[in-house]
Structure 1
Amino acid sequence: MNKKTVAVIAAGAMLALALPASATPGSGVSGTVVARGTAVEKVKTRGNAPYDVVVQNLTIAPGGHTGWHTHPGIAVAVVKAGTLTIYESDDESCTGHDYTAGEVYVDPGYGHVHLGRNVSSDVTLEIAVTYLDVPVGEAVRIDAADPGNCSF
């Protein structure tokens, strides 16, 4: 990986997530795109087509969630405040995995369906997400149906 690619990933990891889902709507979520650019340097992606790198700040209110979704490529989420609890669609036990302030969750994207929650009753969750391999001009998030493995 060259220095420009590393710089893009590192800079993005400092910032970034989600638009409201229609298939499984989120609750208490807001996001602001901080930056977006089309990459000319190649990292491992789905092919040789140009792609966007998008950086977005996300907040999730206490008790809020993202809804079930995936991403067109890899998403690197840095937890800035609070605790991000991730649930995977293929985990029949619906076991949440916690990421606290300063920790990083790397979502593999490309159809990996998951849901992020703020299980706190009083702390707003703040996350910066960098999305890689987003088709030029397209959404960073792809809604997914509730897989039925969790009771919420």
Structure 2
Amino acid sequence: MRIAVRAGLVGVMVAGLSSVGGAADASPGTGVTGTIIARITVGGRDYILREITLQPGGSTGWHFHDGTLYVRVRQGMLSHYGATCALDNVHGPGAEFVEPSGVGHVHLGRNLGPRPVILDVVYVDPAGSPLSQDAPNPGCDFQ
């Protein structure tokens, strides 16, 4: 199912809910903030719509997710690194991608550009799980 369709489904499901704000999860990241736009729990899953902003020079820190994320880049260029320390993709405005779940998918996002990166993210998590889990640097010479 395309990411936009999933995002639309979550949008329909959370229509009418009041907005819930919050800071980004505590992590070794720098220059990153997040705001929860809406959340709903259905069938043992949390569906969370969140806006994430990554300032120029910022990093998400090494982490993984307990659920699957559907991401759309609204602004900027996000450099994405996997646990091998290799750059595995650069996502620009309009790009959509999926972050798979689990400790086997440790990753880091960096903003190497001159303007903020803004992401629209739909989390599909097991109910009650955190938005992300911190992970140790896998041996890369950058953060």
Structure 1 contact 52–137 (Cα < 8 Å) conserved: yes
1:27 partner amino acid: T
3-state secondary structure, aligned to 2:25: coil
Partner of 2:32: 29
Matched, 1:146 2:137: yes
Q: Distance in 1 between matches of 2:30 and 2:106?
A: 17
Q: Which has the higher contact order (CA 8 A, sep 6+)?
A: 1
Is the aligned partner of 1:61 residue 2:55? yes
Residue 51 of structure 1: how far off its partner (Å): 1.3
- Distance in 1 separating the partners of 2:54 and 2:24: 10
* 2:116 paired with 1:110: no
2:117 to 125, 131, 142: 125
In structure 2, distance between residues paired with 1:20 and 1:28: 12
- The residue number in structure 2 matching 1:44 is none
Q: 1:18/1:107 Cα in 2 relative to 1: closer, same or farther (>3 Å)?
A: farther
- Measured in 2, the distance between the counterparts of 1:73 and 1:137 equals 11
Give the whole-Å Cα distance in 2 for the aligned partners of 1:86 and 1:39.
30
Which residue in 2 is equivalent to 1:10? 7
Size of the aligned set, in residue pairs, is 127
What is the TM-score normalised by the length of structure 1? 0.76
**Rounded Cα–Cα distance in structure 2 between residues aligned with 1:84 and 1:130:** 17
Three-state SS of the structure 2 residue aligned to 1:34 is: strand
Aligned to 2:25: 19
Match of 2:75 in 1: 81
1:142 partner letter: Q
C-alpha distance in 2, partners of 1:67/1:123?
19
Q: CA deviation at 1:96?
A: 4.2
SS in 2 for 1:10: helix
Give the letter aligned to residue 25 of structure 2. L
